[in-house]
Amino acid sequence: MSNRTLALCRAAPYGSALAREGIEAVLASAAMEQDIDLLFLGDGIFQLLDNQAPEAIGQKSLRRNLKALPMFGVEELYVCQSSLEERGILPEQIQIPGAEVTLVEKPGELIAAYQCVLSF
Amino acid sequence: MPRYAGHFTICTPMKFSLAIYSAPHASQSAASALRFAKALLAGGHEIYRIFFYCDGVQNSNMIAAPPQDEADLISEWQALQQKHNLDLVVCIAAAQRRGVLSQREAHRLEKPVANLAEGFDLAGLGQLTDAVANSERLITFGG
């Protein structure tokens, strides 16, 4: 996987612009046919949660952008297992249609395998 | 001989790109990026591109007017750009959201002012992808 890029998604979806702009950068990269995978960790896990209602706070849905990832060929979503457990979120609550969610016990080892890492 | 850039020891000259996500006066990140860029150039390395994204677009806002006894990062970026002919690229979508516009964009969007500082170029996110593909190291600051 030497030429692949890994994007770290660390920010909750609506508290700052970082999560949205991170996913936009990932989509732009995928649209240019770069191989890119995602690792959700820390509060970034919250981006994946189903039944979000961002319109209640005047925000656009970020999950809609995440659902577009498989259409751009981004099908590998890694999720830090301990981040998930710390937040009491179950794997079935963070599924994205068309994408494979893989729980990762040792995120450091995953990150180390990539030639380039984008951090959001 | 190894060269010393702060805490890093980098032995052979390499091609770097920087991604900057924070505004000049909100955190130390942009100032650290500037110092890192200077250290790279002083150490004989090449900077392929500096990409300003998220709140980092404020580094190219020429109407920022910090007090005289505080650092003026915008001017420092411009000086470094002139000296080393750096490719300073500002994400156009992030800049529009935050009110950093070139003459052309201000005209197109019917806004009364253009404030993109000289030496910076507006471009799409593809330029970040291109920097990833063409650099040996990408270093991210802020966010």
From B19, B43, B14, B16, select the one nearest B30 (Cα to Cα).
Answer: B19
Q: What's the structural domain count of chain A?
A: 1
**pTM of the full structure:** 0.91
A23 membership: H or E segment, kind and range? helix A18-31
Six-digit token string for A116: 């380039």
Nearest residue of chain B to residue A34 (CA atoms): B129
Residues spanned by the domain of A79: 5-119
CATH code at A29?
3.40.1260.10
Longest CA–CA separation in chain A, Å:
42
In sequence order, what DSSP letters do the residues of B104-119 get, joined into one string? Answer: HHHHHTT-S---BPTT
Given pLDDT bands bounded at 50, 70 and 90, which one contains residue B5? low
Give me the pLDDT at residue A120, please: 96
Chain A nearest-CA residue for B137: A116
User: Does the annotation mark B91 as catalytic?
Assistant: yes
Residue type, B104: R
Residue B143 has its nearest CB partner, among A18, A29, A116, at A18
Does the domain at B3-64+71-141 match CATH 3.90.550.10? Answer given as: no
Per-residue confidence (pLDDT) for residue A52, from 0 to 100? 93
SS3 B17: strand
pLDDT tens string A2-31? 579 999 999 999 999 999 999 999 999 999
User: A12 CB near a chain B CB, below 8 Å?
Assistant: no
Query: What is the band of B113 on the pLDDT scale with cuts at 50, 70, 90?
Result: very high
pLDDT at A1: 43
| Rg from Cα positions in chain B | 15
Contact A119 B140 (CB under 8 A): yes
> Nearest by CB to A21, which of B94, B132, B133?
B94
What average pLDDT is seen over chain B? 94
CA–CA separation, A24 and A68 (whole Å):
11
User: Mean pLDDT over residues B26-51, rounded?
Assistant: 97
pLDDT at B143: 83
Residues A52, B136: Cα–Cα separation, whole Å: 39
Buried b vs exposed e over B133-143: b needs ≥16 C-beta within 10 Å?
bebeebbbbbb
**Confidence at residue B91, expressed as pLDDT on a 0 to 100 scale:** 98
What are the domain boundaries of chain B? 3-64+71-141
Residues A42-84 have pLDDT tens digits of 999 999 999 899 999 999 999 999 999 999 999 999 999 999 9
Burial string for B37-65 (b: 16+ CB within 10 Å, else e) reads bebbbeeebebbbbbbbbbbbbbbbbebe
Give DSSP secondary structure letters for A42-93.
GGGGGGG-SS--GGGGT---SHHHHHHGGGGT--EEEEEHHHHHHTT--GGG
